Structure 1
Amino acid sequence: MQYRRQRALTLAFALAGFAASALAYPDLPARMATHWNASGGVDGTMSRFAGAFFLPALTVFVVALMLVAPRIDPRKRHYEAFRGVYEWFVAGTAGFLAYVHVLVLAWNLDYAIPIGQALAPALAGLLYACGVLLERAKPNWFVGIRTPWTLSDDTVWRETHERGALAFKLAAVLALGGLLFSDYALVFALAPTLLAAAYTVAYSFFAYRRREA
């Protein structure tokens, strides 16, 4: 079976969330903290069952969508050029969600975890992986920077993804700032991500306009 290692790792991460929840379930509070604001304060809760199993279920759903996408994409033949990197990215996404879930469980088990700081390196890793994936991604309908302009012109796709790869790798480095400035950890995580996304969308528009001129 092709990509066996990546699929095995993806499955392990997906199952790990359920296993961790099952082990921790008896000791979890009736209402679980599941969302934190930019200053690290809790601003969202769920029932124990929902809090324990929502993220593992979401992980399975997200992974399933990511694995189905190459099969149903009208341009699925393009995936072969970056399929190996894509499979590793799927595994990395599952790992990221599993890590977030473990942090949520640990916090609700009264471990003093600074959520923002703990998330910073994992998010930085995911952003860097996004950059690597963007470098390799060929035109398709599901993966990458899919704007009307990149989907209309393969050259615009290539140029935008080259710029996008650099932008997301830079965002990954900036996200690590949350390790140094704990009070602003979520700001360091979210602001560079949003800026990188906005930059790539804007770049695709102007790159298309330039080619049309």
Structure 2
Amino acid sequence: MLKANKKFFIVTCIITILPILVGLLLWNQLPERVATHFGTDGTPNGYSSKLVAVIGIYLFCLAIHVFCALVTSVDPKGKNISPKVYRLILCICPLVSIYAGVTVYGNALDYKGVNSTVWINALMAVILIVVGNYLPKCRQNYTIGIKLPWTLADEENWDYTHRMAGKWWILGGVLTFLAGFQSWVDPVYVSLTIIIIVALIPAVASYLHFRKHSL
């Protein structure tokens, strides 16, 4: 799997560490202590050295990216993972890395247009919608998808669960995006609640489906 997507993997690795180049170009403009953690209201509440903010964060993202690529490629049922789904997995860490760069550098340089709460909601929304679109197309495997004992044991249950999950995740993505623009309730908490709900509903339905067909 990895060998067949070698060029795509290399490109996503470059994108993942692209914020390092940007940070080096901005090095003299960045403070010695850079905000790298933010509260749910977007207020900085954690700081790191300039070295960690410019290099450490993105090397960590790269390490996770490589790990995910390798683990997925050695899945015993890897033949069931379509190239599109595999490439989708390879896009997640680069997306997170770019998000982190925009948020961290934008805050450090006091760009007023950067709102970490809106950005994180938009990021989660994009991931939910894109993954939700691909879940129904995801065939049974051990690394990608809703891996429960009954979904792994029964291909029909797997397909049923992922068809349902796809619809819920897309809906959850839309609601998560909209939540970022309201101020009545903390958007991040609303989004986390949505994510938990859209993850639990297919899992519970999958178990009930298993119980119904195992009796």
Q: If the TM-score is normalised by the length of the shorter chain, which range does it land in?
A: 0.7 to 0.9
Match of 1:96 in 2: 96
Comparing 165-174 and 119-128, the one that deviates more = 119-128
Query: Cα–Cα, structure 1 residues 9 and 89, in superposed 2: closer, same or farther, change >3 Å?
Result: same
User: Aligned pair in 2 of structure 1 residues 16, 147: CA closer, same or farther (>3 Å)?
Assistant: same
* Partner amino acid, structure 2, of 1:72: V
What is the Cα-based RMSD across aligned positions, in Å? Answer: 2.2
Q: CA deviation at 1:3?
A: 4.3
Tell me the number of residue pairs that the alignment of Structure 1 and Structure 2 aligns: 211
Measure, in 1, the Cα distance between the counterparts of 2:65 and 2:154: 29
1:16-165 equivalence runs, <5 A: 16-79=18-81, 82-112=82-112, 113-165=114-166
1:5, distance to aligned residue in structure 2 (A): 6.6
Aligned to 1:175: 176
* Structure 1 residue ranges (4+ consecutive) displaced by more than 6 angstroms after TM superposition: none
Shift in Å at residue 28 of structure 1?
2.1
CA distance in 2, matches of 1:143, 1:184: 31
Indicate the percent of aligned positions where both proteins have the same amino acid: 21
Distance in structure 1 (CA, Å) of the matches to 2:164 and 2:97: 27
Q: Which amino acid aligns with 1:206?
A: L
Compute the displacement of 1:55 (Å): 2.6
Contact 2:17 2:97 in 1 (8 A): no
Label 1:204 to 1:46 Cα distance change in 2 as closer, same or farther (>3 A).
farther
Cα shift at 1:71 = 2.5
Structure 1 window deviating more from structure 2 (67-76 vs 184-193): it is: 184-193
Paired residue type of 1:51: A
Shift of 1:190: 2.0
Structure 2 unaligned blocks of 5 or more: none
- Deviation for aligned residue 1:107: 0.7
Letter in 1 for 2:66: A
> SS at 2:48's partner residue?
strand
Contact kept in structure 2, 1:40 and 1:115, CA below 8 Å: yes
Amino acid in the other structure paired with 1:212:
S
In 2, Cα distance between the equivalents of 1:171 and 1:19?
34
Shift of 1:108: 1.5
Change (3 A) 1:86 1:179: same
Q: How high is the TM-score relative to the length of structure 1? A: 0.87
> TM-score, with normalisation over the residues of structure 2?
0.86
Runs of 5+ unmatched residues, structure 1: none
Alignment check: 8 A CA contact 1:6 1:88 kept: no
Q: Is 2:28 the counterpart of 1:10?
A: no
Cα offsets for 1:45-71 (capped at 9, x unmatched) = 222222222331122122212221233
Alignment deviations for residues 115-140 of structure 1 (CA, whole Å, 9 cap, x no partner): 11123323211111111231211111
Query: As a proportion of its length, which structure holds more helix?
Result: 1
For structure 1, which segment, 40-49 or 154-163, has the greater mean C-alpha deviation from structure 2 after superposition? Answer: 40-49
* SS at 1:180 equivalent: coil
CA distance in 2, matches of 1:24, 1:72: 39
